[in-house]
Structures are given as C-alpha cells and as structure tokens.
Amino acid sequence: MRKSSSSLAIIGALSLGGCATSPYGGMGGPLEAVLGSVLGAGQSGGNDFQRAAVNACGNYASQYGQVSVRDVRQQSRDTLRVYGLIGTNFGTRDFECSFRSDGRITDFDV
C-alpha cells in the first residue's frame, strides 16, 4: 500500500506536546488516529516501533518547543530516524533523532 505525502503533511501539522512519557505508550487523540492510518493500523511490530520512535523523539524535542513530525525512516534493522520541526517564539528549527529498538535515543540533532 502506498502512503500519500498529504497524509505525512497532516502529521507535520499536529503537535506532539501531549505525548505519553512511555516510549511504548499510546499517544491518544487525533495524532494516534492519523499515525494509525499513515503507518497502517492493525499491523503490529514495525508500527509499534515507529510509534515508539515518534513518541520518544517527540517528547525529547518538546523540551525545545512545539514539535511536529515530518517523517520516520528506517536507518538500520534496529534503528529508526525521526525527522521533524521544533517551533519556538523565534522561528522553526529542524530536528533529527535516532531511536533504537531497545527504547534508547542514540542521536538527537537540532
């Protein structure tokens, strides 16, 4: 199934400010519904890993401002790379975050 870029744009418009603190917890609300449709709801394993990466990286980035996620890409078998934006009173900045399958953030760049 091909995922449309407009669906990914919707993710970018939503804030991750209310993410759960557990990297494997549900986000709830509209963000979880959008991620479910973009990542393929009903499938397990990889999508749980993607949700955990978005949750953990979003929570980490939120210390710098309002967060929106643009993309999640497989970096290696055990690592995902999350790309997004951090909005502050002074503008917007890109961020990139590497998340391992053991639940650790191994790299975070603003």
0.85 exceeded by the pTM?
no
Q: Are 22 and 79 contacting, i.e. CB atoms less than 8 angstroms apart?
A: no
- The whole-number pLDDT of residue 54 equals 97
Q: Is the dihedral of CA 20, 43, 34, 58 positive or negative?
A: positive
Distance CA 107, CA 96 (A): 8
* 89 Cβ contact partners less than 8 Å away, ≥ 6 residues apart: none
Q: Closest Cα to residue 83, out of 49, 46, 57?
A: 57
- Write out pLDDT tens, residues 74-97: 999 999 999 999 999 999 999 999
Annotated domain spans of the chain: 5-109
- Scored b (16 or more CB within 10 A) or e, 28-51 reads eeebbebbeebbeeeeeeebebbb
DSSP, residue by residue, 21-49: SSTTS---HHHHHHHHHHHTTT--THHHH
Position 68 pLDDT exceeds 80: yes
- Write out pLDDT tens, residues 12-55: 434 444 443 333 334 444 444 434 434 444 445 579 999 999 99
Distance CA 92, CA 65 (A): 9
